[in-house]
Amino acid sequence: MASAHVQVFPWPLQGHINSMLHFAAGLLDAGLHVTFVHTEHNLRRAHRAEAVATPRLRFVSLPDGLPVDHPRSVGDLTDLSKSLMTTGPAAYRALLASALSPAADGGFPALSCVLADGLLPFAIDVAEELGVPALAFRTASACSFLAYLSVPRLVELGEVPIPVGADLDEPVRSVPGMEDFLRRRDLPNSCRRRAETDDVDPLLQILVGYTAHSRKARALIFNTAASLERSALAHIAPHMRDVFAIGPLHAVSAAPAPATSLWREDDGCMAWLDGQADRSVVYVSLGSLAVISLEQFTEFLSGLVGSGYAFLWVLRPDMVGASQSAVLQEAVGAAGKGKARVVDWAPQRDVLRHRAVGCFLTHAGWNSTLEGITEGVPLVCWPFFADQHINSRFVGAVWGTGLDMKDVCERAVVEGMVRRAMESGQLRMSAQALSQKVRRDIAEGGSSATEFQRLIGFIKEFGKN
């Protein structure tokens, strides 16, 4: 039988591209063919970062609808989001229709199915309309998906929207399985009324709609593991046609994933880490989207320096408002007195695996959380937006593998939490125990590995019809 062929279509952002490329690598390991859809803008950037195709993997692209010279700044995704939602359906229909013509196969088998980002609901609709089965992939945690799924009920009960000025530490009791530990602040921040207008954030309605839309897909796939989110997965399953938990995907594939970075990684920090003692370095990265103020930058810097530990800090050039990154990097170097290393972008998974790293100060984006968990590194979480709040709560209160800074950004808190994460034997033991569990999930016979095999069978069935 000809190999199955899956088209993978992520939201055009680093965190989404990473986990879906890791998924693609898993499909390639299983002998399948993959067509990976980038936007034209990202394909140009990814190629600069040597994203190379292989005989069973090819990259195609579609326009994102924005002018070539649009900054596509991560601090404001509104333009990109609007443009994708308005021009995306027609552009995707054209791309998919051409992929279905017999002339387009280029040696690839006929398309078995589309695996679309759950935040691109139009891709699910377009694929099904063109007769291609569609699967949905959510790059965020299952617990955050369950929170969005629960929003209509929370609204009915008057728990959402959260009033301006409300105590964010108050419990929220109506997300199933999380009754004992969830607080208002752990819900996506779009659940909070906005001070300036006192309106409900329109983003909330959109995201709740996208979440419900996943029901239309033949199955919903999560980059998570049963030992992390068994309860959330069980509560989601009855609402979807099928659910697969197959992560952490970055650790699944035997072969390295094709280059995934839209930024150029600074490998020099690995040699710097080689020169540091075991578990002596704090690794700091707030992911690909967070934008912080100069004040927050200063609080982080003072807290890190105050902790007394060496640190490696990812300071993206677009991260601190309009500030010049060279000036900021110099400031870090001076304050760190030889114990600090700053990079624009790090090879994060290698960094976290390095023996010198003692803890990870993170925004608790789902990929970063999974990468830290897999390596058994204690996390200090400073959630920035969306799903990161609930991930941070799970780290602090459910898995006990790190500390939840909430949204506090004060030097004394940074300093205190970094010290605790570096020095607490209990946190390290819990982090390592969870890492072992997750590694068992992805090893042969483990829950994620078994689910992955089930998914491959599921996909191959499409090819038979």
Give the binding site for ligand UDX (CB under 6 A): 13-16, 18, 139-140, 261, 285, 287-289, 314, 345-346, 348-349, 365-368, 371, 386-388
Q: Please identify, using beta-carbon distances, which residue of 232 and 456 lies nearer to ligand UDX.
A: 232
Cα dihedral 135, 138, 143, 146, rounded to 10, equals: -50
CB of 82 to ligand UDX, least distance (A): 18
CB of 348 to ligand UDX, least distance (A): 3
Residue 158: other Cβ atoms inside 10 A = 8
* DSSP 8-state symbol, 5: E
CA distances from 432 to 19, 377, 420, 423 (A): 23, 7, 16, 14
CB of 367 to ligand UDX, least distance (A): 3
Q: What are phi and psi of 134, to 5 degrees?
A: -120, 135
What size, in residues, is the chain?
A: 465
In the residue annotation, 117 being an active-site residue is answered as yes
Contact 441, 449 (CB under 8 A): yes
Among the listed residues 343, 368, 150, 171, the one whose alpha carbon sits nearest the alpha carbon of residue 250: 368
CB of 347 to ligand UDX, least distance (A): 6
Distance of alpha carbon 85 from alpha carbon 126, whole angstroms? 13
What interhelical angle do 411-423 and 294-307 show, nearest 10? 40
Distance of alpha carbon 281 from alpha carbon 289, whole angstroms? 24
In the residue annotation, 5 being an active-site residue is answered as no
Return the structure tokens found at 361: 């100060």
Q: Please identify, using beta-carbon distances, which residue of 214 and 288 lies nearer to ligand UDX.
A: 288
Helix residue spans in 101-238 (DSSP H)? 121-129, 142-156, 202-213, 226-236
CB of 295 to ligand UDX, least distance (A): 21
Which residue in the list 16, 38, 41, 250 is annotated as catalytic? Answer: 16
Distance of alpha carbon 225 from alpha carbon 464, whole angstroms? 29
Q: Please identify, using beta-carbon distances, which residue of 18 and 227 lies nearer to ligand UDX.
A: 18
CA distances from 155 to 89, 148, 165, 238, 290 (A): 30, 11, 18, 21, 28
Which residue in the list 64, 117, 186, 441 is annotated as catalytic? Answer: 117
Distance of alpha carbon 78 from alpha carbon 424, whole angstroms? 41
Distance of alpha carbon 418 from alpha carbon 411, whole angstroms? 10
Which residue sits closest to ligand UDX, CB atoms considered?
365
CB of 442 to ligand UDX, least distance (A): 16
* DSSP string computed for 35-76: EEEEEHHHHHHHHHTT---BTTEEEEEE--SS-TT----TT-
Q: What are phi and psi of 13, to 5 degrees?
A: -130, 155
CB of 329 to ligand UDX, least distance (A): 14
Q: Please identify, using beta-carbon distances, which residue of 253 and 285 lies nearer to ligand UDX.
A: 285
Q: Please identify, using beta-carbon distances, which residue of 15 and 376 lies nearer to ligand UDX.
A: 15
Q: Please identify, using beta-carbon distances, which residue of 67 and 256 lies nearer to ligand UDX.
A: 256
Q: Please identify, using beta-carbon distances, which residue of 28 and 286 lies nearer to ligand UDX.
A: 286
Contact 368, 285 (CB under 8 A): yes
CB of 78 to ligand UDX, least distance (A): 16
Distance of alpha carbon 142 from alpha carbon 369, whole angstroms? 13
Q: Please identify, using beta-carbon distances, which residue of 392 and 448 lies nearer to ligand UDX.
A: 392
* Catalytic center residues: 16, 117
